[in-house]
């Protein structure tokens, strides 16, 4: 948390004018060790959420393409092969409801939830490891 120094100086004249003049000095922001450690923590958290967001976005596209019965050609084939790695651990846990060639990919939905929870836990560990005990996260 930065330390701010504010200084207000008030002078009063006792002459015939009797004007009161008030001046405020500029604020000086002094970074502390706590603030720099918070910056590292925030940067690490941002990277974790960025990676989790990309993975979950691709998995959401996979769900939508399967739901609308997209054929596995071109971009769709690339997307299925790319996201297959992320859904592999969750294949077969829940049945996939299908209607006329389109189906809801339960493995991808499970993967989205698990990766969000995993990202949340990693961010918590980063905060625990890097933030001082007296730091307040806003």
Report yes or no: 6 and 96 within 8 Å, Cβ to Cβ: no
The answer to whether residue 124 scores a pLDDT higher than 70 is yes
Q: pTM for this one?
A: 0.68
pLDDT tens digit sequence for 4-36: 555 555 555 555 555 555 555 555 555 555 555
State the pLDDT at residue 69.
85
Cβ pair 27, 4 in contact under 8 A: yes
Q: Nearest Cα to 100, choosing from 63, 71, 69?
A: 69
In a 13 Å sphere around the CA of 72, the CA atoms on its Cβ side amount to 12
CA distance linking residue 95 with residue 121, whole number of Å: 28
Q: At what angle do helices 33-67 and 106-130 cross, to 10 degrees?
A: 180
Domains of the chain, residue spans? 32-130
Q: What is the pLDDT of residues 53-111, one digit of tens each?
A: 999 999 999 999 999 988 888 999 999 999 999 999 999 999 888 888 788 999 999 99
Q: Is the pLDDT of residue 39 over 70?
A: yes
Mean pLDDT of 104-130: 93
What pLDDT is stored for residue 112 in this prediction? 97
pLDDT in tens, 45-57: 899 999 999 999 9
CA dihedral 42, 45, 46, 51 (to 10 degrees): 170
């Amino acid at each position: 948390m930065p330390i701010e120094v504010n200084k207000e100086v008030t002078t009063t004249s006792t002459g015939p004018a009797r004007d009161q003049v008030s001046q405020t000095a500029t604020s000086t922001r002094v970074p502390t060790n706590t603030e720099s450690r918070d910056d590292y923590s925030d940067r690490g958290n941002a990277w974790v959420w960025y990676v989790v967001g990309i993975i979950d976005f691709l998995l959401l596209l996979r769900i939508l393409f399967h739901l609308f019965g997209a054929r596995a050609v071109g971009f769709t084939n690339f997307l299925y092969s790319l996201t297959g790695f992320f859904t592999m651990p969750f294949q077969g846990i829940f049945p996939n409801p299908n209607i006329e060639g389109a189906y809801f990919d339960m493995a991808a939905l499970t993967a989205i939830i698990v990766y969000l929870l995993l990202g949340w836990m990693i961010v918590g560990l980063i905060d625990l490891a890097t933030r001082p005990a007296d730091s307040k996260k806003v």
